[in-house]
Amino acid sequence: MESSELDRLAEQIHRELLARFGPPSERRFTRGQPPAGAKISFEQRVASLIDHTLLRPEATREQIEELCRQARRFGFASACVNPLWVPLCAKLLQGSEVKVCTVVGFPLGATLTEVKRFETGEALKLGAQEIDMVIPVGALRSGDWERVYLDILAVVDAARAAQAAVKVIIEAGLLSDSEKIAASTLALLAGADFVKTSTGFGPSGATVRDVEILRRAARGAMGVKAAGGIRSFDDFKKMIAAGATRIGASASIRILQEARQAAEQQGAPVL
């Protein structure tokens, strides 16, 4: 599908869903970037765009502790972990600028909406500051847009009182272009802060094309998080150029090392 066709499709779907669900209430949009004019190094700027992630089910306490030490040392946007580890991360990151990010309805998205709402509330009580939720992908593919919208809205409402950012994972590898646009638009209208490409456990990770599609649907009012398979600084740059405003990665240290090398060799690349 050509770029102009994608634009028309995105506009058509946006109008249809806006007429059905109405505009969102005011969101607390968070791009995950340092304040304008902030005097930070190129490496720090790269780190500020990354959610330093460890979501493997076999991850140990020692590995989570090391993740938090690295997140604090390098100044990543967040440490993203499974809910079990939220209290530990909240303790280890207390007093730092690094957010505690956790996942809800992860990784399948097929959990009941009320369970997602409860899970969100409990995670926030334990110290989470950002929530990455998975939509009910099967409902979206069935055309049940209302169920998906209400699912996202429940998590957004639960997070709003705690002023926590919500990122909506659509698992783009399972969706057609029109479904990706619909899922992203539903996230926008439900008041989410970001739409996110993938869980990292699906059939594929982030692609440049998917980020471009999600950016169109976000309409400049919602961030785009690219996650899954981003393992190098070159991958990072491609996603940022395509429109990502946050990157989810487990290879964060490697990305920073390569960013440092690039800055030393050719000056700070444009992001």
Provide the annotated active-site residues.
132, 196, 225
Sign for the CA dihedral angle at 141, 142, 143, 144 comes to negative
| CB neighbourhood size of 223 (10 A) | 24
Closest CA to 192 of 183, 205, 180, 181: 183
How far apart CA 10 and CA 112 sit, in angstroms, is 28
Sign for the CA dihedral angle at 193, 196, 201, 203 comes to positive
| CB neighbourhood size of 166 (10 A) | 28
Cβ proximity of 87 and 112 under 8 Å: no
What sections of 32-172 are H helices per DSSP?
42-47, 61-74, 86-92, 113-125, 137-141, 145-160
Q: Of all residues in the chain, what percent are helix, strand and coil, respectively (each to 5)?
A: 50, 15, 35
| CB neighbourhood size of 65 (10 A) | 14
Closest CA to 90 of 50, 128, 131, 51: 128
